[in-house]
Amino acid sequence: MSEIDILNQGGALLYPTDTIWGLGCDATNPIAIDKIIKIKGRQSEKSFIVLARDIDMLRQYVEEIPQAAEDLLHSIKEPLTIIYQHARNLPVSKLSHNNSIGIRIPQHAYCQKLLQAFGKPIVSTSANISGMPSPKSYSDIDQKIKDEVDFIADEEREKISASQGSQIYIITADNSIKRLR
């Protein structure tokens, strides 16, 4: 069964991203999101990052993309997550503790292929048990996670990530941009 079949059935993926190995699922499916929460042993009130294919997909899931955010998306080449104030068409109560949503448009070939084929956003959270260090490589991922996901990507299993995660910016109430990380 392919990763797209797994996503369509509400399953969980273990896959490489533009930052570190991630756990993911259909970001529009609250049952799939609950599965990720359970696999990680994560508190349900913690927010998730969502991956979108491009700005067109992004527009479907946030009420507004301020010009400052579009400028960032076009100018920063490193992994970039922007927290938008008003999410839509997503089970926000499962993804965030408020109505905001962190979304990244990855430049990573595997993620782009996955997002293109799936046609919807995908949850992207670090592939670790909650509270434990994020894995730098596939071999660092806890066996419990490997045993509980429904699909493990074959790509980049030998690669060691130098990344600590994406840059994170938030759009404030007055539509200005503030860097958080």
pLDDT of residue 163: 64
Stretch 106-126: mean pLDDT: 95
CATH code of the domain covering residue 34: 3.90.870.10
How buried is 160 (Cβ within 10 angstroms: 0-12 exposed, 13-18 middle, 19+ buried)?
Answer: exposed
Q: Which two tokens stand for residue 168?
A: 């994170």
Question: Number of structural domains, the chain?
Answer: 1
**What's phi and psi for 3, nearest 5 deg?**
-65, -30
Q: Which domain range does residue 91 map to? A: 3-179
pLDDT of residue 177: 82
Q: What is the pLDDT of residues 121-147, one digit of tens each?
A: 999 999 999 989 888 889 999 999 999
How much is the pTM?
0.92
pLDDT band at 30 (very low <50, low <70, confident <90, very high): very high
pLDDT of residue 55: 95
